[in-house]
Amino acid sequence: MKKYLILLILVLLVFNCSYSATKIMPENDWKKKGLKGKVSQMIATTYKYDRNGKLDKKVRVVTHFNEQGYIKEEIHYSNDIVSYIIFKEYGKDGLLIKSNDYQNVYYTHEYEYDKNGNLVETKRQKEKNKNDYEKLEKITYNKLGKKIKVQVYYQSEYSGKAVKVSGLSKYLKDEKRGLFELMTDFVFIYDKNGNLKEVKSEYSNEIERLVLYEATGDGGYKEISAYPGQQYVTIYDKNGNEIEWAWITQPSTQYPAQIQIHLVFLATKRDKKGNLTEQIGKYIEADEKKEGIGNIQGLAEKKEIEYTYYK
Write the DSSP assignment of 51-84 as a string of letters.
Answer: TTS-EEEEEEEEEEE-TTS-EEEEEEEETTEEEE
Predicted pLDDT at 18: 42
pLDDT at 14: 47
Q: pLDDT at position 4, please? A: 52
Is the pLDDT assigned to residue 178 strictly greater than 90?
A: no
Give the pLDDT band (50/70/90) at residue 268. very high
Find all residues with CB under 8 Å of 218, minimum gap 6, and list them. 237, 238
pLDDT bracket for residue 204 (50, 70, 90): confident
Q: How confident is the model at residue 26 (pLDDT cuts 50, 70, 90)?
A: very high
What would the mean pLDDT of 5-26 be, rounded to a whole number? 56
Q: What is the pLDDT of residue 156?
A: 77
> For residue 294, is pLDDT > 70?
no
Determine which of 7-11, 55-59, 241-245, 293-297 has the lowest per-residue pLDDT on average: 7-11
Burial of 180 from C-beta contacts in 10 A (0-12 / 13-18 / 19+) = buried
8 A C-beta contact, residue 201 and residue 190: no
The gap from C-alpha 106 to its chain's centroid, in whole angstroms, comes to 18
Phi, psi of 177 (to 5 degrees): -125, 0
Above 80 in pLDDT, residue 236?
yes
The stretch 68-90 carries a mean pLDDT of: 98
Mean pLDDT value across residues 132-159 = 90
* pTM for the model: 0.83
| Section 211-232 average pLDDT | 93
Reported as a pLDDT band with limits 50, 70 and 90, residue 98 is very high
Q: What number is the average pLDDT over the span 170-185?
A: 89
Residue 97 has pLDDT above 80, yes or no: yes
Domain limits, the chain:
105-206
- Average pLDDT of span 217-228: 93
